[in-house]
Structure formats: structure tokens, C-alpha cells
A = this chain, B = another copy of it.
Amino acid sequence: MWKPDRHNPKPLYEQIADHLEQRISYGEFPPGSLLPSERKLAEQLGVNRSTVILAFGELRSMGIIESRPGSGTRVSKFKWGAVPKHTPNWKRYAEGGSFLPNLPFLRRIREALQQNPALIDFASGELSADLAPIEEMTELMGTNPYPSYLGYGHPQGYMPLRQAVASYLDRYRGIQATESSILITSGSQQSLYLITQCLLSPGDAVAIEDPSYHYSLPMFQSAGLRLVRLPADEEGILPEEIRSLHKKHRIKMIFVNPNFQNPTGTLLSDDRRGALLEVASELGLPIVEDDPYSLTDYEGIPRSPLKSMDRVGSILHIGSFSKMAAAGLRVGWMVAPHSIVERLADARQQMDFGLSVIPQQVAARFLESPYFEPHLHRLRTQLRRKRDLLVEALQQELPDSVRFHVPQGGIHLWCRLVPSVSDAKLLEEAIKKGVVFVPGSVYGSDSGYVRFTFGRAKAEEIGPGIAKFAEALRGLTDSFPTVKKAK
């Protein structure tokens, strides 16, 4: 991204004015459109707000932009030879469309991370760079890095990857699947998107764990679905509740994340797994099983997915590389009855013509390589270490202000805050101190919960990050006496 050059003899404000004029003339900001605020632009460009004010003044004097109190700074409509009706009303278009924008908290977190990459990141649900098997992949792809044919691929995904995923599922997840019952997707997100778009209709009710990552996805609302909350405790959801909920809401599908759930880290107990399958089969209801974290179990205990116990074919099983290797590969999969795989593959062709074959080839080779098993071992060890560091830091910095269960796998720790503070204020305060997290309300819980993700931050950042968070929290509460810190 462009930044003014401090070694350039031309004053910073002039450089900024020239740059903005250029972007306006390129059509990036059409006549009548709103420019970023002075504050925001100053942050983006790494300059003082007064410098931006000077640059805006320059552009205003040339008639290129106009400022009006309370409505911000806009590109002038006349300077560019256009009377108002000439430019499409882009604002109206951007606000139109049936697809809803992301949640404000999530957009705020993304923006904060873009503006300040030095923020300690307890928000992004991904692994840190050092946990991705880059060296192994580089070596595996050293010879024959590309398939000889780079055309559109099979709608269900690259055949050698489907075969590799079938062996993986058999070996690691106890799931029997053939390549024709596997759909390669770009990750769990795309799997969920295809399900909500293609198998459900507006007005349908779906049952979702309370809390759940799924509440952070406006895609369910964009598809016009009604969300029914499935109550859960520290052993996961209560399957017996499904019957009465179904009676009341005519549920069409159940969404669960049984292993190290996002955001709570909960492991669904064995008894409840059996009960869930029984009630779903009794009601003829499909279950979507989102299973990204199982192989991160710190003790290396294989946690059987629901799909491995599925005797009647009621489960759509979703897996991904993102949380066990690298999110940037964008490779995931779904196991489903063949008719469902065909339906979703056909729709995906229409949306994006399928995935690039290159990352699919990387994923296939890695899954079948001797590097896969040692990688998992290293990942588990490192994640456990990060969890320990996080738990230690929380106990040290906030002994009386947080309540949590210690997760046994996955990358999330779910925390209840004892002093009652506003989610929005706490997030803003934390960003100021140099740390981000996700407020629990994003996942459908009440205010006063926090999801700390410890996969993304570097090990050495975890302690300092929690110290910054504690500072932010202290700044907002009187109930937390500073002396406690000395304990």
C-alpha cells in the first residue's frame, strides 16, 4: 500500500494530495463518493492528522473535494465534468444486495489488524507462520511442481486429492469414504456456505450450538434461515433438548462442532454423541459435523467424529487443512451422500468454477508424505505450549477477573469476565493497548465473554498480550484493584 516518502523533498501533505488526486481520477473514488476520514487516513498513511488536514485543504482549494460538517469529505461532483446523475449511486449499490455484510465487531478487528500489523492477535482463528509445514511442502513440490494440465478441474475436486483424503479419513478419522462421496472445498467456510445455499430454503429453521462460531456468520441470515439455539454445558450440547425444539420450530438441520468447539473448546461427551445420533436419526434430521480441530488433541487421543458412528447416513462431515496445516492453502473437504456431493459441486462450479489445482496438489502430496505424522506431533506440542502460556498469563495477570475451562485441544480458550464491561469498550481499549480478541457476543453469548485464540500469536507474544489485555480491562473497571497484580 502507498505511503508518503519521508526522504522525498516534496512535503508530505503535497505527496498525499497528489496521491489522492490520482486515485480519484482513476475512478477509485467516483464523483460524490465519501473519502476516508482524516483520522482514518492519517492512521493508514502513518502521518499526523494535521498533515492530512493540509492535504485535504489543498484538494479542496482545487475544487476536487468538498467537505460538509457532519457528512465528511466527498469527491466533488462538478470538477470531474459530471452532473450528479452521471455516476452510478455506488453507495446504494454497495448497500443493496441480498448478501449481508460481516458483523461490525469482525470488520473492526480486521481493520485494526490491517492498520497495525504489530497488534498481538488473539482474534484470528489460524496458526502462526512457524506452525505451517512450509519447508516440507517446498521439498515435496521440488520436482514436478505443477500438473501438466492447468485447465478447469473436476467439479468435485482434484482426483488424487480426493483419494488422499479418503485414505486420511480412513486412517485418522475412522471414516470410510470413496472419492465419489468426497467434495474438495476451499475450507469449512465454503462447505457451510454451499450447504446453506443449496440444501436449505429461506424460512427453514436450523439448530446451532449456543454459543457457536456459526453465529458469527451472517451467511445463515443471508440465506434467510431461522437460527434455533441448542443449549450446551461443559460437556457440549444437550441432545434431549432437540426433540422439543423440533416440535416447536420444525428444525431442518443440526450444526455441531463436537471436538474442541469454537469458541468454547468443549469436547462433546461420548454419551451425548450417541444420544445426538439417536435423536437425529429418530427425527430423520441431517447433522452437519464441523471437525477442524480433532487432530490437535494435545494428548494425541483420537477423538472419533460422529460420522464414524453414522449408521444411517445422516451426517455431512466437514474437515479442513486450515487448523492442522495452513489456512493459506485453502483446502478442505466434505463427506456426504453422492447425490448431495453432486448438487453442491454443481453449484460451486457456478459460483467460482472450482479451486486451483496447485494447492490441491500440494495438499495431496503432503497428506501422503512421511512428513504428515511428525508435523501433527509438532503441532500438538506447540499448541499445548501456547495454551499453557495463555493459562499461566491469565492466572497471573487476572487471577480474580476471569473464569475458564482449560481446553485439551484446538486453538481457542473461552473466558468469562467477572467484572461486567461493555464488549465494544473493551475491544477499543484493547486495540489501543496493542492487542485484539473476539468479544463473546459475536458467537451469540451474552456480553462479558471473550474468545482468546492462541494459535495465531507467537509463543513469546502471549504473556505480553495478556498483560496488555489486563491493562485494558483494568482501565474500564473499578472492581479490579491494581494491588491484585502484585500477588
- Across-interface contacts of A285 in B (CB, < 8 A): 88
Q: Which of B91, B186, B346, B359 has a CB less than 8 Å from the CB of A352?
A: B186
Q: Interface residues, chain A, CB within 8 Å of chain B? A: 1-2, 22-23, 25-31, 33-34, 80-82, 85-91, 93-94, 96-99, 101-102, 107, 110, 114, 124, 126-127, 129, 132, 134, 137-138, 141, 145-155, 159, 176-181, 185-187, 189-190, 193, 197-202, 204, 217-219, 222-224, 281-286, 307, 310-315, 326-331, 335, 337-340, 342-343, 346-347, 349-359, 362, 456
- What does DSSP make chain A's interface, helix, strand, loop or mixed? loop
CB distance from A306 to the nearest CB of B (A): 12
CB pair A82 B312 closer than 8 Å: yes
CA distance in complex: A359, B102 (Å): 26
CB pair A199 B97 closer than 8 Å: yes
CB pair A351 B193 closer than 8 Å: yes
CB distance from A251 to the nearest CB of B (A): 12
CB pair B129 A201 closer than 8 Å: no
What are 10 pairs between A and B in contact, CB < 8 Å?
Answer: A88-B284, A97-B343, A99-B197, A99-B350, A134-B146, A150-B326, A151-B328, A186-B356, A190-B352, A219-B351
Centre residue among A98, A201, A283, A337 by max chain B CB count within 10 A = A337
- Across-interface contacts of A31 in B (CB, < 8 A): 312-313
CB pair A26 B328 closer than 8 Å: no
- Across-interface contacts of A359 in B (CB, < 8 A): 356, 358-359
CB pair B313 A330 closer than 8 Å: no
CB pair A353 B339 closer than 8 Å: no
CB distance from A279 to the nearest CB of B (A): 11
Chain B, Cβ-Cβ closest to A342: B94
- Across-interface contacts of A127 in B (CB, < 8 A): 151
